[in-house]
Amino acid sequence: MTDNVVPLFKDPLNTADTIPAAAPAPTAHDAVRPVRVWRRTGRGLRAAVTSEQTRAAARLVARHGMYVIGGTRITAKRTWDGRTASRYERMIRAAEAGGNFEEAKEWEDRLTRFRAARHHRRMDLLKAPQDAVKSAAYGTGLTAGGLLLLGIVLAIANKDASWILAPIAAVIDAVGAIVYVATVVWGPAVTVGPWLALLALWGVGRQKQTAPQWALPAQQRDDVGAPITPSIVVTALRDLGIAPLRNAIKEMGDVGAAMLGPIRIAGCGVEVDVTLPSGVSTAEVQGRRRKLAENLARHEHEVFITLPAAARTVRLWIADSGALDEPIGPSPLVTDETMTANYRTGKAPWGQDLRGDAATLSLYQRHLLITGLSNQGKTAALRALALWLALDKTVELRIADLKGVGDWGMFDGLATTLIQGPTDEHVIQATEMVEGMVAEMERRIQMPPGTVFDPLVGIVDEAQVAFMCPAVGDDKRPYGGSKATSRYFMAVRKIHNQGRAVDVILEEGTQDPTDQNLPKLVREGAHTRISLALGTESQARMALGDKAVDGGAAPHLLRQGLDKGTVVVASDGIKIPAGQASITVRTHYIDTDTAGVIADRAKALRSGIVTAHTVPDAAEHEPLADILTVLGTETRVLTQEVLKRLAALNDKAYGRWSFIDLKRVLDGTGAEPYKSDGRMVIGRDRLARVLANRPDEGSASAAE
C-alpha cells in the first residue's frame, strides 16, 4: 500500500503494525474544548458590568439623580410646610414622643394662631375678585386721568394741542415694547427655565446630601471618623434596635434632633446629652454601646455612655476617630522639677480625662484600691501616686511589692520599709508591715483628741499574693485567706475601719480580681477604687462597685494591651462630672528610670531616711545601734525625730517608745540627749564613739 492510500478497513493480517506500541499522551491542545459563544458573551458582560468604571459611572448617575429627587422632595416639603399646618403638627408629635408636654402645648397654641390667621386670609380671598375689579377700575381711571392732565399741561406749555395725547401714546408704546421683549425672551425662557429649576433642585439635594451612602464617591463613602452631626446621632439611636426609641424617632421625623442637647467639643471628642423618649430606659441604651458605636462609625472603646443628673438622659462622649490611641504628654511630676506635694490639700497630677482636662486625685484620708489585668499599667499608675506623695516630706511611706522585680526599687532610701519579693517569706514580712501600721494606728487613736499626725501611707502592690498565701504562723493563724483569723486580711480590715481619721492609709494594687484574691470586705473598704482593663463585667463590679458599673463605668470594655494606663476611677477625690459615678482617666506614664529621678528629688527633700528591707523582730534589736542607724548622716537629730524614725524602723520594738525609754538606754553611755538651741537632741559622733569603744556583746533586748 502506497503512502497516499488511506485504508478503510483494518488489515487483519497486519494488526501489529498499525497499532502503535504505546498510545501517545493527549496534548494540552487536545484538552482545550471550544467555549460556547453565549458563555463567552456572558463572561464579557459580567466583566463589563462589574468593572470599577461601570460601577463608578452607575454611582455617578444614581448620586446626581438622587440629589434631584431628594431636592424635589425637600423643596416640596418646605412649600407644603409653609402653606399648611403640618409643621406645627409634626412638632407637636415630636414633643409628645419626647415626653415634653410643655413644649407640645406651646406648639399647639402656635397652631391655633396659625389656623386663625389662615381663616382670615381665606375670608379675605372670597371678597378679593370684587375688590380687584374695583381696584382695576379705579387704577385705570386715575392713570388715564393723570396722563390726560399731564398732556394738557404739556400742550399749554408747548402751545400745541397735539401734546394732549402724547403721554398716553408714550405709555402705550412702552407697553408694546415690554410685550415685544417678553415674546422674544419667552421662547428661550421656556427652554432654559426647566433646566434652571432642575439645577436649583439638584443644588438643594446636594446641599442636604440626599444621595445614599453607596452612591457616594469612594473617599466620601468611608465614613469612619466622620464628624458627629445631630442627624448622625439621631440615626444611630434610631437604628439601635430599641423599638420604642425607633418608633418615637420615626414619629418625630426631621425633628428627632430635638432629643439632643448641643453637641459640644470635649477634649479629643464631642459630648452630647440625649433626652430619651418616655418608654426608653437609659440602661437599654447603655447596654447597646457596641451597636451605638458602630452606628456612629466608631470603635466601641471610642464611645462612652454615662448618666448625667437630668432624668431620662444619657450623655454620649464620642471620641474623634483614633484620638484615644494617641499618647498623652508627660506627667507634670516629670516636667516640673520644682514640684512638691501636700498630702492634705493637694491633688496628685495623674493624667487627663477624656475631655482632655487634667485629672488630679486627692489621696487625703482615702484608702485606695487599684486593680486590672496583668501588664496594663497598674504598678505604673500606683507608683505615680506614690511618687507624688513622696514629694510631701511629712508623708511616711511603707511599701511591700509582692512581685519584687524592682518596680519599687527607687523607694529605697525614701520609704521607711521596702519589701520586695513574691515568696511566702515576703508575704509574712508584708503582713508584719501592715500589722505594724495597725499598731501605729492604735497608738495614734489613744492620743489626745486633736493631735495632728504625720501621714503614714502603706502600699502593697500585688496584694493578691498576700491573700492567696498558704503560709501559717506559729500561732496557727494563716497569713493569707479571708477568715477572721487571717492575718493580712484582718490587718487590712482594721486599717480600713479606723486608719483614715488618724492618717494611717493603705493603698493596694491587685491583679485580675476574684472573690478569693480580693475579698469583698477589702474591696469595699477602699474609698478610692480604680480599675484598669478587666476581663468581665463581674470583675468590673468587684473593682469599682455596683453603683459605678450601673452608672456606666466599664473597665471591662477597655482594650487589654491597647488601653494601657487608662483607668476608670470611682472616688470623691477626683472631679467627676455631676451625676456620673465614675470617670475615665488616661494616666501619664512614668517609666522606672524617670521614676528614679523623681524619687531622687523626693530624697533630697528629706534627710536621714533609712529603709528597712525586712520587718525586724521585736525580740531581736539593738537600741544603740538602731539609734545610730536612724541618725543617718546628720550631726544631731531632735529626740522626737529619733523616736519617730525608730518606730518606722521597728514598729514592734520602738512603736510605743517615749523620751523616757530613749533616755534610759542612753543614760550613762556618754551619748545622752543634750540641749541644742533649747531643744533635746542626740549627737551622732558621741554615739558612734560609744559604740566603737564598746566591747562586742551581741544584740540586746530593749527590755534589758
Ligand X SMILES: Nc1ncnc2c1ncn2[C@@H]1O[C@H](COP(=O)(O)OP(=O)(O)OP(=O)(O)O)[C@@H](O)[C@H]1O
d(CA 263, CA 471) in angstroms, rounded, equals 57
Site for ligand X in 379-438 (CB under 6 A): 379-380, 403
Q: Is the CB of 408 or the CB of 488 nearer to ligand X?
A: 408
- Give min distance, CB of 293 to ligand X, in A: 23
Q: Given the DSSP bridges, would you call strands 417-420 and 396-401 parallel, antiparallel or unpaired?
A: parallel
Cβ pair 416, 623 in contact under 8 A: no
> Is residue 511 at the binding interface for ligand X, with CB under 6 A as the rule?
yes
Q: Is the CB of 285 or the CB of 418 nearer to ligand X?
A: 418
Choose, by CB under 6 A, the member of 295, 517, 587, 650 that binds ligand X: 587
| Half-sphere exposure for 620 (CA within 13 Å, toward CB) | 5
SS3 per residue for 564-610: CCEEEEECCCCCCCCCCCCEEEEECCCCHHHHHHHHHHHHHHCCCCC
- Give min distance, CB of 588 to ligand X, in A: 6
Contacts of 614 (CB under 8 A, 6+ apart): 419, 429
The closest of 310, 250, 247, 319 to 289, measured between CA atoms, is 319
> Is residue 375 at the binding interface for ligand X, with CB under 6 A as the rule?
yes
> Is residue 486 at the binding interface for ligand X, with CB under 6 A as the rule?
no
Alpha carbon 512 to chain centroid distance?
A: 22
Choose, by CB under 6 A, the member of 282, 376, 420, 517 that binds ligand X: 376
What is the chain's length? 704
Number of residues that bind ligand X (CB under 6 A): 14
> Is residue 589 at the binding interface for ligand X, with CB under 6 A as the rule?
yes
> Is residue 378 at the binding interface for ligand X, with CB under 6 A as the rule?
yes
- Give min distance, CB of 407 to ligand X, in A: 6
C-alpha cell at 378: 497598674
C-alpha cell at 57: 459611572
Site for ligand X in 513-572 (CB under 6 A): 564-565
> Is residue 582 at the binding interface for ligand X, with CB under 6 A as the rule?
no
Contacting range for ligand X; rule: CB under 6 A; set: 79-87, 257-265, 277-285, 370-378: 370-378
The closest of 469, 460, 463, 521 to 490, measured between CA atoms, is 521
Q: Is the CB of 229 or the CB of 374 nearer to ligand X?
A: 374
Contacting range for ligand X; rule: CB under 6 A; set: 45-53, 376-384, 663-671, 682-690: 376-384
- Give min distance, CB of 586 to ligand X, in A: 7
The closest of 489, 413, 377, 423 to 648, measured between CA atoms, is 413
> Is residue 482 at the binding interface for ligand X, with CB under 6 A as the rule?
no
> Is residue 374 at the binding interface for ligand X, with CB under 6 A as the rule?
yes
Q: How many other β-carbons are positioned within 10 Å of the β-carbon of residue 414? A: 21
CB nearest ligand X: which residue?
A: 565
Q: Is the CB of 441 or the CB of 557 nearer to ligand X?
A: 557
Instruction: Determine whether the annotation assigns residue 377 to a binding site.
Output: yes
C-alpha cell at 635: 550631726
Q: Is the CB of 278 or the CB of 374 nearer to ligand X?
A: 374
- Number of helical (H) and strand (E) elements in the chain, helices listed first: 26, 17
Site for ligand X in 452-471 (CB under 6 A): none
Q: Is the CB of 231 or the CB of 560 nearer to ligand X?
A: 560
Residue with grid cell 493569707, as numbered in its chain: 480
Instruction: Determine whether the annotation assigns residue 375 to a binding site.
Output: yes
CA distances from 262 to 60, 103, 265, 449 (A): 35, 18, 10, 52
> Is residue 489 at the binding interface for ligand X, with CB under 6 A as the rule?
no
> Binding site for ATP, residues?
372-379
> Binding site, residues?
372-379
The residues binding ligand X (CB under 6 A) are 372, 374-380, 403, 511, 564-565, 587, 589
